[in-house]
Chains A and B, each alone.
Chain A
Amino acid sequence: MNNPYLPIPVRLNKVTLENEAKDLKTFDLAFVNPQDVKAFKFVVGQFAMISINGIGEAPFGIASSPMNGAVLQFTVKRYPRGVLTTALHNLSAGQVLGLRGPFGNGYPVKELESKNILIVGGGFALTTLRSLANYVLHKKNRAKFGKLTMFVAARNPGEMLYKEDLKEWSKRSDIEVIQTIDNPVEGWKGKVGYAAPVLKELAPCPENTYAVVCGPAIMIKTCLFVLFELGFPPERIVTSMEMKMKCGIGKCGRCNIGSKYVCIDGPVFTHKQLQELSGEY
């Protein structure tokens, strides 16, 4: 019997520091056993459990695109109280970690086909959104989707995640990238202001468009309000939820929002689904 609790070994190939506050790092993981590459088929927006033996295990969204194949990327924020995130940040390349997954439903990519996609991402919640953007932008996929807009908000330029990707995306004509920071900074070429008011000013057209929104709670709340005002229906606003998890497979009983488990029914929900669920998150 397949044992969903047993991690597969992955090697930490590379660690990239992402921000000036030095609490965000991206981890490149490669499968130790070649047969696991094929076994680990994931869709954009799914997550995996990463573990260090002796320390513990926690869920993280997959930040790389499934089109990338053998290397998986995860961006992890270090919290002073986070035993595992702190341990992960102290690792260097070459170490072997445990990986379980992929888990969760992922973004509704089939449904997004032939639609325009407005990605709204704030802070370090950009991880699976970046996976989505790179998936859509892949040459095998790009023609299937409509217009792609990437709206990214961060406290300051130093906190912008995936600076390389942002640079690459900005060079392309098939994606529009809009960045905003909280306060003016000398030499900053993007927008200035909190996500919601800047989004309001941009006024993206809701027609044939899905909005995919991830970020801090306050940003999601304010941006949702703007999106409603602009005419985005709740069933076309998609978000990815996070909750404390242990099993990732709907058994340990703690990641529920109402009757739905974030691990198996989510993490991706439309805003309509969330409205229909009463539950704390």
Chain B
Amino acid sequence: MKTHLWLLFLKMTLKILLGDLMKTIKKDKIAKLLDFLADKYELFAPTSKDGLVVSFERIKEGKQAKLRFYNSNEAPKKLFFPQSETLFSYSKGGRETVPEPKTEQQRIIFGLKPCDTKSLSLSDKVFDTTDFKDPYHTQKRGNTIIFTLACNRPQSSCFCTALGLGPFLKEGADVFVVDLDDKYLFEPITQRGEDLLKEIPGLEEAAEKDISYAKELAGGVEDKITTKIQLDSLKEKLDKIFDESVWDEIHQKCLGCGVCTYLCPTCHCFEIVDEQVNDKGKRIRIWDSCMYPAFTLEASGHNPKPTGKERMHQRIMHKFNYFVENYDEIACVGCGRCLRNCPACMDITKVIEQINNLK
């Protein structure tokens, strides 16, 4: 009897701690929930074009969201770091004006996969530094609530687990969402996620079996991701092989198209250019790529990275060595976009394997 009471007490406590905060909603009501969010917030969700989930776009109606998808073709980084972004505008004789961020309306991104959610915290390390805060990126970050959707449809090209991440990684999410076949489970991760869930009408309290089913799903999905990368001594290895002939080989089939860097959720390199028509102009930043010859070409004609070899070296080193050196993390989340979309079938996991196999 005593044990029974004790167990009951434990159950209640757990329910208060977790269950009460976790919510569910039936799948047929999710469009309504998104309608509610779209009404109050700028809502972004995966949308489809020609039957493919290409990217995260602003939606006005819940039914526009396509929540059953592998992952968006484009990385959602563009919502924080647009491919082209005006830094300021000017007119001849006038003062520069900076485009005012719309701070009055908060944004919600619904359905980010855990890998892409993680990529945002990696971008923060570059843009949100103490010495020079990037106002454009940090304002958008601060103004955006993230609903991460657990990934239960990994592809054969995915390798998040190889990087110590996973399809059910909650890091970076405000609310973590799990697809439970006939309903969605919502778990608040941050205070603002919790507060937001309280606002949403129609949510039901999660039952214990919902929570345990989510756990069950998580284990099953992890097993589906089979690519492994040996990371233990990778940085040290890369430290030592700057001049090795392996780089002559690795870049050979690369066309230098840069699609890997454009689709990569963590690639953050940019170019700054002026656009001017008559007396009015603006300074904009646009995505750039270390795979392009002009990336480091100086006005004198000197180019420290003149061939594909140096450029491939830069890309691999930046992700797996320099970023680790500067920010203690690898600048790759294993989303697999670069290897799915490379026209020459370059596979970054194979490149790492090749480097690891060097004596």
Residue numbers of A with Cβ under 8 A of B are 1-7, 9, 51, 53-58, 77, 79, 81-85, 98, 242-244, 246-247, 249-254, 256, 258-259, 264, 278-281
Contact = CB atoms under 8 A, between A and B. Distances in A.
B262 interface: no
B287 to A, nearest CB: 10
A140 B280 CA distance: 47
B129 interface: yes
Given A3-B135, A251-B268, A252-B285, 12 more contacts: A2-B133, A5-B87, A6-B96, A53-B274, A53-B281, A243-B298, A244-B297, A246-B271, A253-B268, A254-B290, A259-B321, A259-B325
Interface stretch (B19-27, B30-38, B186-194, B299-307): B299-307
Nearest to A56: B274
Given A81-B301, A253-B290, A253-B318, A259 B296 contact: no
B129 A85 contact: no
A244 B88 contact: no
Interface string B36-73: 00000000000000000000000000000000000000
A259 B314 CA distance: 10
Interface string B129-141: 1011111101100
Contacts, number: 120
Nearest to B239: A278
A254 B325 contact: no
B326 A3 contact: no
Sorted from nearest, which 3 A-B pairs have the closest CB atoms? A82-B299, A253-B269, A278-B242
A259 B297 contact: no
Nearest to B306: A280
B322 interface: yes
A57 B296 CA distance: 15
Contact of A58 (B273, B285, B288, B299): B299
B29 to A, nearest CB: 40
B96 A7 contact: yes
A251 B134 contact: yes
B196 to A, nearest CB: 25
A247 B272 contact: yes
A105 to B, nearest CB: 11
A250 B298 CA distance: 18
Contacts of B299: 58, 79, 81-85
A77 B301 CA distance: 13
B15 to A, nearest CB: 43
Nearest to A217: B302
A206 to B, nearest CB: 30
Contacts of B80: none
Nearest to A55: B274
